[in-house]
Amino acid sequence: MTYKEKESSNNDRDNIISVLDTNLKQFTRLWQRIKKLYNDWDINNIKINLDSFNSELKQLNTNCISVNNYISENTQNISEYIGNNEYINNLELSLKNLSIPFIGSFPEYDIPPYRLSVSKENMESRLFFGRKSEKINSMNPENIANWVNTKYKKITTKKFDINILMKELLDAYQIQNKLSFRNKDTIWGKAVKLTEIYNLLTLKKATKQEYPKQFYQYELGILKENLNLSLNEYRFEFGFAKDISKAIAIIDSKGKINYLSSLTIYKEV
């Protein structure tokens, strides 16, 4: 039996929650009435309402015990459900329904420029941007997806200048090209590893924290979808990896994964 089937079979017991809600409202109204009567020294009506108060209090106590037992039992069911196949499918489906591209498998997903980690041990989900992270304690798959979507949209809807990125890649390419081929001048049309370019872009430790690899993946993904991969007289071309362990995974706007290994820049004559 799946968690949802268990949940459905307990619908009658779920009613005790609505019963408690009603009980609490009645108890609160009665208490407000008694307070007013007490302030008015309305002795006769105080006695009448105190009888109702005591009756409601007994019922409230009974309902609280029932709800406490129910929630405790159902919380255990939820804990066992978190991390099983049905839960994972629901989480990934919730992300897909919000058009959030991701790579990886439970409990960790790359969602460039973020990394999502779902911890059953700590009963929390964390969204990492480099070493910085934010967390949510709700383990409901839809809640996690909605939370991720808010963070994801906040950064991906910002204006992005492709030319600035291409200029940075061009500068780093020239440096790494000379180092790789041991030549004083850039040898245009030669492939340079994207990982080496990233290392150049983040030489300082502080820079690597401010520009984590997930953000590099994200920016490369945007650039890869650009139809015109050229900057002035320079033409950019990405190389695809046969060995994905040495590649940088990027996700396009349709959720397709590409594994890029190198960047080649040609200088048009």
* 148 and 55 co-located in one domain: no
Question: At which of 105, 125, 156 does a domain end?
Answer: 156
Same domain, yes or no, for 204 and 146? no
Q: Give the CA-trace dihedral at 250, 256, 262, 265, to 10 degrees.
A: -100
What pLDDT is attached to residue 8?
Answer: 46
Q: What's residue 11's pLDDT?
A: 62
CA 199 to chain centre: 26
Same-domain pairing of 151 and 191 = no
Spell out, as residue ranges, where the chain has pLDDT lower than 70: 1-14, 205-206
Residues 61 and 94 in one domain: no
Q: Residues 154-161: contacts with CB within 8 Å, 24+ apart?
A: 155/113, 156/218, 160/219, 160/222
Helix ranges restricted to H, the chain: 3-9, 11-39, 43-81, 85-97, 141-156, 162-181, 194-201, 205-210, 213-224
- Rg, C-alpha atoms of the chain: 30
Q: What is the pLDDT of residue 1?
A: 42
- Domain containing residue 101: 90-156
Total domain count for the chain?
Answer: 3
Answer yes or no: do 7 and 73 share one domain.
yes
pLDDT of residue 160: 82
If asked whether residues 115 and 33 sit together in one domain, one would say no
pLDDT recorded at residue 3: 55
Q: Are residues 119 and 167 in the same domain?
A: no
pTM comes to 0.74
| pLDDT at position 2 | 54
Which pLDDT belongs to residue 145? 97
Whether residues 116 and 75 fall in one domain:
no
Residue 260 and residue 168 in one domain: yes
Domain boundary among 48, 81, 114: 81
